[in-house]
Amino acid sequence: MLGGEEARATDFDLFRDHYPDTAVFINGLGPSESTTALQFHADKNTRLPGRQVPVGRAVAGTEVLLLAEDGNEAGLRGEIVIRSPYVSPGYLQQPELTARKMRAGCFYTGDLARRLPDGQLIYEGRRDAQVQLNGRRTELSEIEYALTGQQGVEQCAVMLCDSPAAHDSHTLVAVYTGAADRQALRSALRATLPAWMVPGRIVHLDECQLDELPLKANGKTDHDALRAALPLPGTADHAPAGDVPEDSDEHAIAAVYTELLAVASVGINDDFFALGGHSLLAMRLLARLESRLNVRLTLADVFAAPTPAELAAHVRNLPRQA
């Protein structure tokens, strides 16, 4: 039986490898404010929906709702709200928190979930894990679930970090464990997430000189400790520079990368986002390249071709403006 921390497909793999055929795998969600509310039961023949372990269905005597921000039924995705006679009456000497979380006999958990076709719920992180990224509200848990759904990713954490390339700006950083290829992950995320939600840096945990993701006393990822262990941008977390720019387009693009990203040099295979770039800097990149190369590029072009070599190859196929 698992609970407290989110269960991963790797946990279910361990269950199948080490327990007898008669064993039952149970994963659940049970906040202190309501005790166990959801449970998922499986045996060795159960097939998981991808690489995620459901938290299951409501237990007897408990009703679980998925509500949108406006308080109405959300349908497929929303906040887990628990209605049960076992819901706590409130928090000791914290009337404001009680009023916000305990309403009309319900406990508003702050946990997000998605409903599967068979009615079971998949946990999708905390509502308070939302951050503001360059003016857009971003759910870090949505990015983490896109990552953990990729083959070769065992665990991951996504954080908002200060951008080394610009003051008062931020970039998304993803740290993962497993054998997945970084560039393959970036391509997969571009195919499944909006461009502005694709992490600017994707770092393997080995590059942080850590054996495992750091945890707080409550078992949650310690993002502060993980940020402190990140390698400097432009060192381990991007492909080697390789060849130096050869033609005028590659030279111009690499030069603008150097200016905007505050790095000493850029090779033709260096990724704009891996070096600390983000969507706002990409807009400045477009303006400078339009001026220097007399071409009109879009933000989608930069996400699709983030290296000088790739972007130069794309530029060669564009008409030059007078």
- State the Cα–Cα distance between residues 189 and 176, nearest whole angstrom: 14
Q: Could you report the per-residue pLDDT of 32-41, keeping only the tens digit for each?
A: 898 888 999 9
Please give the model's pTM, rounded to 2 decimal places: 0.59
What's residue 125's pLDDT? Answer: 78
What's residue 236's pLDDT? Answer: 43
- State the Cα–Cα distance between residues 176 and 156, nearest whole angstrom: 4
What's residue 238's pLDDT? Answer: 46
What's residue 129's pLDDT? Answer: 67
- Whether 254 and 291 have beta carbons less than 8 Å apart is answered as no
pLDDT band per the 50, 70, 90 thresholds, residue 168 = low
Identify the residue with better confidence: 105 or 136: 105
Within 8 A by CB and 6+ apart from 149, the residues are 50, 51, 52
Tokens at residue 21, please? 């055929």
Q: Could you report the per-residue pLDDT of 91-124, keeping only the tens digit for each?
A: 988 999 999 999 988 999 988 898 999 999 988 8
Q: Could you report the per-residue pLDDT of 247-258, keeping only the tens digit for each?
A: 899 999 999 998
What does the domain layout of the chain look like in residue ranges?
A: 9-127, 134-322
Average model confidence (pLDDT) across the chain? 85
- Whether 156 and 140 have beta carbons less than 8 Å apart is answered as no
In CATH, what is the architecture of 9-127? Roll (2.30)
What's residue 169's pLDDT? Answer: 65
What's residue 59's pLDDT? Answer: 92
In this predicted structure, the answer to whether residue 77 has a pLDDT above a threshold of 60 is yes
**Quick check: helix, strand or coil at residue 76?**
coil
Instruction: Give the residue among 167, 148, 168 at the shortest CA–CA distance from 156.
Output: 148
DSSP string, 194-261: -GGGS-SEEEEGGGGT-SS--B-TTSSB-HHHHHHHPPPTTSTTS----SPP-SHHHHHHHHHHHHHH
What's residue 261's pLDDT? Answer: 80
Instruction: Give the residue among 195, 180, 194 at the shortest CA–CA distance from 273.
Output: 195
**CATH no. of 134-322:** 3.30.300.30
Percent of the chain scoring above 90 in pLDDT: 42
What single DSSP character describes residue 192?
A: H
